[in-house]
Structures are given as C-alpha cells and as structure tokens.
Structure 1
Amino acid sequence: MNRTMITATNTLSQLQKQMDIISNNISNVDTNGYKRREATFTDLLVQEFNNQERANKEVNRLTPNGIRQGTGAKLGQAQLVMTQGALKQTDRSLDTAFTKEGQLFKVLVQTNGVNEVQYTRNGALYLSPLSDTEVMLVNGDGLPVLDENNNPITINGEAKDYSIDANGQLTVTKTAGATEVFNLGVVRVNKPQFLEQRGGNLLGLPANVAQDEVLTELTGGLRGEISLQQGALEQSNVDLSKEMTELINVQRAYQFQSRSVTLADQMMGLVNGIR
C-alpha cells in the first residue's frame, strides 16, 4: 500500500468521528439545555527523510532541511461549548433555566448497581411519588435531583406552591401553611473539555479525573454565583445553519480523501500492469 492510501485512510476514520459529532449536535437542536461539541484536528507524527548528506548544500534554504512527509490528521479534541442558549418562557413553577454559562444541576444515576453523580443543564424538573405523603424531585427521565449535599430532594406532605429563587433555593409551601426549603445542587464547570456525554443529556467525569480539577461545588458563600430563572427553559446552543455548513465541509473533505484512495489504487494498477 503506498503512502497516499495510508495518509487518506488515517484521515478518513477521523473525519467520520467529526461527522458523528456534528450529527449528534443537529439531532439535539431542540433538546433543552444541550451544549454542542466542537471538533478540532491535529497532525499525526511527521516522518523526516534526510536525503541531503552535505549540509552545505542546504544553505539559504527557507524550509527545514530534509523532506518531511505527513501521515494524516487525527481528532485532537471534541470540546464542549458552554455558551448560553436562548431562554423560552414556560411559566411552569418547576421549570428553571440557568442564566450564567458553565453551571449544571446534579442528578443521581445508578449504573450496574453503582450510584454516580452526573450533571445536566436541563432545568425541566418533575415530582415522582414515593408514597401517599411523599414525593421526590426528579428530572425528565425520573432520575433524582440532588441538593448541595448530594442527597435526593424529597418533599413530605401536600404542597400547593413551589418557588425557586435566583440562587437555587427551592421553597415548598404546604397546604397547611408550613414551608420546606432545599438548596438545589449546582456545580460550576472549570474545564469543560474533560466532561463526557453519558446519554440522556447528561454529562459525567472520566474515571481517572478528579472532580476538583474540573468542577467547583457552589455551596456556602459560593451559592451567590448561581443564577437561575424560574418558569423558563434554556434551549440548546446549536446553530443549525452553522452545523449544516460544517457538515457539508466535512463531507467534501471525506469525498476528497476517498478519491485519493481511488487514484492511488489506479496508479498502483498501472504500475503493476507494466511489462
């Protein structure tokens, strides 16, 4: 196999990954709180051939000595873009929207019997009954929403009103007049490039990355940084026209690399056919 085919096939597999990222962005254009990912590329290792043994013959050369041949490109990073999405007013008391970038709710996910805290920007909250007198605050998939101490939020008694202030404090007013107060669990993302998509519009941390390196728990005095709006939902930050344009560019690059493989194969056929 000649070098052209090697370079092209190396790049083809990486372009396919970029198309997958763009397709995922497009499919979530209407998902509340979804944050798009942006792929960036980097060169694979370059091979150098020192074809000139006499250095004095390279004097006044503007490029590096020898011949450098690339081996293709690879997907360097698929960065999570945390820019603010547009807000849609719903006037529903358990709908909330962050108005600052980089803040996420905490939810509890059980995978293979192991509990893990994951994160979401989707502020559509619901109530799931636990008994005749107790309900739990959950997200749209029924996963428990956590408070600032990573405990599920459970509400006892019959409630008639729910109020969520700008700093994430949930106040439940009971029919008997009593109130119950909870602090919603919120984190600030410092290094979004480390977050992994876990499905269901949830984000998680890799197993080998410490939480303190990526996230900051907004508790105590830091709760003043939280910025929430009740009765609204944040839309995704996906720009459909931009994503479609990028998809067309990637498809053109994919076609170009595929054509390179075809041309290399034709040239090898011609060489092999020489008698």
Structure 2
Amino acid sequence: MNRTMITATNTLAQLQKQMDMIANNMANIDTNGYKKRDATFTELMYQQFDNQRRDGAEVGRLTPNGVRQGTGARIGQTQLDMTQGNVKQADRPLDTAFTKEGQLYKVLVQTGVGNEIQYTRNGAMYLSPVGENEVALVNADGHSIVDANNNPIYITGEAKEYNIDSSGQLSVTMTNGTLQTFELGVVQVNKPQFLVSKGNNLFGLPENFAELNVGVDEILTDMVGPLRGEIGIQSHALESSNVDMAKEMTSLMNAQRAYQFQSRAVSMADQMMGLVNGIR
C-alpha cells in the first residue's frame, strides 16, 4: 500500500464520523432542547523532506522550505453548541423552556451501577404514580426530576393547579387549599465541552477528572441560594433544537464531496500500482 492510499483511508474514517454526527443532528431537529455538535478537523503527523542541500538554493522561495508529506486528517474536537433554540408556546403547565443559555435541569437516572445525576435541556415534565395518592415529577423517559438538593420530587395529595415561575420554583395548589412548593434542580454549565452525551438527550460528567485536570465546580455551577434569581425559565413553553437544517445539509454535502475525493484518491493509487506492477 503506497502513501497516497494510507493518507486517503485515514481521512475516510474521520469523514465518516463527521457525517454520522451531522446525521444525528438532523435526526434530532424536532427534539426539544437538543443541542447540536460540530466537528473540527486537525492534521495528522507529517514528514518534511528537504529537497535542497543548501539553504542558499532556496533564496526567493515564497513557500516554506522543503516538501511536506502528510498522513491525512482527523477530528480534533467535537464542539457542543449551547446556543438558544426557538421557544414555542405549549398548553401544559409542566412544559418549560430555558430562556438563558447554558442552563440545564438535573435528572436522577438509574444506571447499571446505581443512581447518577445527569442533565438535560428538555423542559417537558410529566407526573408518574409512585403510590397511593402520590406522584413523582419525571421526564419523558420516566427518570425523576430532582430538586436543588438532588432529591426526587414527590407530590402528595390531589393537585388542582401547577405553576413554575421564572426562578424554577414549582408550586402545586391542592384541592384542599394547601400549597406545596419545590425548587427544581438547575445547573449553569461553564465548560460545555467537558459534558459527555449519555443518550436520550441527557448529558453527564466525565469520569477522568484527574486526566483532564479540571474539577466539577469548573464545569458547572449549582444554581442554589442567591443564584436562583439568575435562572431563566418560561412556563407553558418548550425550546426547540438549535439545529439549522440548511446549514446541516450544506455541511453534509461538503463532507460527502470530501469523502468522494478521498475515495477517488484510493482508486487512482490502486490504478497506478497496477500499472507499475504490469511493467515487464
């Protein structure tokens, strides 16, 4: 296999990953609160061949001295885009939308090793029966929405009215006239690139904090105490995804053209090797 084929095949695998990411963005265009990811490429290691023995032979050259031969490109980073999506009106009082960027709800998820706090931008909440005359506040997948102290929210009794204010306080008016209040768990993400996608529109924290040289407090901030006033929530509304279909289609076509170019390079290299091997 010659150098051209190695370079092309290295890049082909990375372009396939980019197209998979674009396809995932397009598939979630109607997912509430979905945040798209963008891929950026970087060059793989290259070798430099000095084709002139003396620097004086390169006088007047406009490009850098020598010939650089690369080995392809790879995805250097996948960036999570936390820009605000469009807010659309909804009829349910438990449908909410964040009006400030970088804020997420806390969700208690049951994993194979226990319970784990994960995070979502999807503000659609539901009620799930957990006992006699008691319901829990959950997301669409049945995972508990937790309060500011990471405790599941349970509403006891027969509710008459639900209201969520701009600071994330859930007020439940009961049929007997009493009032139950809960502070929804909300975090502000400071470094979204450290969040790990967990599936089902949920994010989690990385496990290798020592390797990343970063702490939990640097990645996100719990919105508790005086910080509750900085939360921006709109009730009777849902946030759309921030996926721009026209932009994603353009990126997909560019990636497909690059993929075709690299495939063509492999075919041409194979033809050249065939010609060389056919020489008698």
Query: Shorter-normalised TM-score: what interval?
Result: over 0.9
Please state whether the residue corresponding to 2:11 is helix, strand or coil.
helix
What residue number does 2:260 align with?
Answer: 255
Aligned pairs for 1:129-144 (under 5 A) are 129-144=129-144
Note the C-alpha offset of 1:64: 2.5
Note the C-alpha offset of 1:272: 0.7
CA distance in structure 1 between the partners assigned to 2:94 and 2:113 by the alignment:
29
Note the C-alpha offset of 1:58: 2.6
What residue number does 2:175 align with?
Answer: 175
Matched, 1:162 2:167: no
| Aligned-CA RMSD value | 1.1
What residue number does 2:229 align with?
Answer: 224
Note the C-alpha offset of 1:56: 2.6
CA distance in structure 1 between the partners assigned to 2:20 and 2:89 by the alignment:
32
Note the C-alpha offset of 1:65: 2.4
Note the C-alpha offset of 1:120: 0.5
CA distance in structure 2 between the partners assigned to 1:63 and 1:149 by the alignment:
61
Please state whether the residue corresponding to 1:130 is helix, strand or coil.
strand
2:46 counterpart letter in structure 1:
V
CA distance in structure 1 between the partners assigned to 2:19 and 2:89 by the alignment:
33
Give the TM-score normalised by the residue count of structure 2: 0.95
What residue number does 1:11 align with?
Answer: 11
What residue number does 1:80 align with?
Answer: 80
Structure 2 unaligned regions, length at least 5: 210-214
Structure 1 runs (4+) deviating above 6 angstroms are none
> Mean alpha-carbon deviation: is it higher for 264-273 or for 205-214?
205-214
Note the C-alpha offset of 1:115: 1.3
1:49 counterpart letter in structure 2:
F
Note the C-alpha offset of 1:156: 1.4
Aligned pairs for 1:95-174 (under 5 A) are 95-174=95-174
What residue number does 1:189 align with?
Answer: 189
CA distance in structure 1 between the partners assigned to 2:179 and 2:266 by the alignment:
69
Identity %: 69
Counterpart of 2:270 (choices 246, 254, 265) is: 265
Structure 1 unaligned regions, length at least 5: none
Matched, 1:50 2:55: no
1:247 counterpart letter in structure 2:
L
Note the C-alpha offset of 1:51: 3.1
Q: How many residues align?
A: 275
> Mean alpha-carbon deviation: is it higher for 260-269 or for 172-181?
172-181
